[in-house]
Amino acid sequence: MNKIVATIRRLPLSVALAAGLVFALGQPPFELWWLALPALICPFVLMQDLSGSRQSFWLGWCFGFGYFFLSLFWITEPFLVDAARHGWMAPFAAFFMAGGLALFWGGAFALATTMRVGSLGLIALWTLAEVLRSLVFTGFPWGLIGYSLAPLPLVQWAAIVGSFGLTAMALALAALASRSRLGVLSALLIAAGLWVGGVIIQPKAQDLTGRPVVRVVQPNIPQDKKWDPEYRRLFFDRLLALSAAEPAPDVTLWPETALTVLLHQADPFLEAMSAVSPGGDLIFGVQRLVDGQFYNSAVQMDAEGHLTASYDKHHLVPFGEYMPLSGLFDQLGISGLVGFPAGFSAGVGPQVIKTAAGIALPLICYEAVFARDLRGTVRPDYVVHLTNDGWFGTGGGPAQHLMQARLRAIEFGLPVVRSANTGISAMIDPAGRILDHLPIAAEGYLDAALPRAVSPTFYARVADWPVIIFCLMALGLAGIRRRSAR
């Protein structure tokens, strides 16, 4: 054991990079948590021998680069849909995405060394770095450290502390285990207690007899053919056929951009859709043109065929739906994946709609990644998540997206219903259980009874403030300890 530790300390950056790659195996589709969580101990061990902020920065950066490069490698998939135009960007996207996100981790490590706040301070700074990357440039909280706990009962603590709290929890256990053999034993005992606690606080499975039924449609339309006019009628007829089974449900969901025409041009399609679900609502994804601005929208049709509500996506994907610094990129001849020259416009913010199954909060694609996008409205009865993960292939991207939808259900105590073009469509209960699903790259539909929402969770009431305050207090305590040691 001592020889292994000595070898690790001689090659800190190489070992950090390798440990980051191993830590990535905790994310879907691998979910090898038993391998990933020990890898999180490695940077804490390596930090014990470093005194310079530059060395610490590169240590954190290398660990982050390895982690983000492997766990987010699916980011290359959208560039390969139209490989002739965008394929050259794929390797740059993988490298710069991983390198850019790793800057947050490198900065946390450098600050911990500069401030001389030890492992306690590193836990706080690393957690705050994760909060920061969820905010900067509209944020990208994909692959949070706490998500490595998603396959375990410990994930139920998200109902109290949220995903950033899970991150602090995972880091604290890793830091404790890095100190000594006694630290390893202590970390295991605490983890066991948290495991049991997670089982206890998990909401019980519900009797769903008599509950409203939601039909989730998954047409499995290939992204490279989705917008081809020659296939438009074929794919639309597929959506109709999957939606027409008897008995009719209370609500039918179609995925993001299910219609491949603009809403004001869709009258012939809307007429056919009005007969899809007699007695219930149909919620479908479509693009809208309003006053010269394009919106990525979810629209509700009632049983009589009237369009009764709409929601415009407000949290847009950088480079996918709009171009940040568009003037600069125009000069470089880089257009990203934006479908329109000016990109999409953002909606006004979260909104609820009344459906035959209760009050629903629509989220479109990327918005389910952000816990804050479930706030700002009256408390809904359930969350509707329309997405087109056909952009992300059949590997880690769709599986990670589903896992994050599970976290939103746990954090807020709300059922989440997903309709994903190519999968993974699912009915998720307020405890994060997947009650039913359609596998990736499968065509079909499922009818699932809608669970009841549970009482608002502690996290739903207080958001991330307790975790942020805890991190700031931990930094203060670490500073006091440093001065006392002097």
Instruction: Give domain limits for the chain.
Output: 2-203+463-485, 213-453
- Residues acting as catalytic residues: 256, 313, 365
Query: Residues 42, 12: contact at Cβ < 8 Å?
Result: no
Stretch among 26-30, 305-309, 339-343, 429-433 having the lowest mean pLDDT: 339-343
Q: For 426-452, what is the mean pLDDT? A: 97
346 vs 21: which has the higher pLDDT: 21
Residue 305: which region, alpha, beta or left (left: phi > 0; alpha: psi -120 to 50)?
left
* Portion of the chain with pLDDT greater than 70, in percent: 90
Identify the DSSP state of 25: G
Residue 48 amino acid letter: Q
* Residue 238 tokens, joined: 């597929």
Q: What is the pLDDT of residue 400?
A: 96
What is the spatial distance between Cα 135 and Cα 138, in angstroms, rounded to a whole number? 5
CA distance 49 to 95: 29
At 3 the pLDDT is 64
Residue 96 has pLDDT above 70, yes or no: yes
Position 57 confidence tier, pLDDT thresholds 50, 70, 90? very high
Percent of the chain past pLDDT 90, that is, above it, reads: 71
Least confident of 93-97, 156-160, 422-426, 455-459: 93-97
In angstroms and rounded to an integer, the radius of gyration of the C-alpha atoms of the chain is 23
Work out the pLDDT band at 326, boundaries 50, 70, 90. Answer: low
Q: Which parts of 162-306 are beta strand (E)? A: 213-218, 251-253, 281-290, 293-301
480 conformational bin, left if phi > 0, alpha if psi -120 to 50, beta if neither: alpha
**Which tokens belong to 411?**
């954090």
The residue with tokens 């709609």 is 353
Give pLDDT, residue 278. 67
Q: Is the pLDDT score of 356 beyond 80? A: yes
pLDDT at 6: 63
Percent helix, strand, coil in the chain, to 5, is 55, 15, 30
Phi and psi at 347, nearest 5°, equal -70, 180
Work out the mean pLDDT of the chain and round it to a whole number: 90
Q: Taking the CB of residue 270, how many other CB atoms lie within 10 A of it?
A: 18
pLDDT higher at 235 or 9: 235
Summarised one tens digit per residue, pLDDT across range 361-399 is 999 998 999 999 999 899 999 999 999 988 788 888 999
Record: fold of 213-453: Nitrilase/N-carbamoyl-D-aminoacid amidohydrolase (3.60.110)
Tokens of 350: 């979260």
| Alpha carbons within 13 A on the beta-carbon side of 362 | 30
pLDDT at residue 484, as a whole number = 73
How far apart CA 43 and CA 25 sit, in angstroms, is 16
If you average pLDDT over each of 179-183, 344-348, 410-414, 421-425, which comes out highest? 410-414
Q: Which of 165, 187, 162 is nearest to 176 (CA)?
A: 187
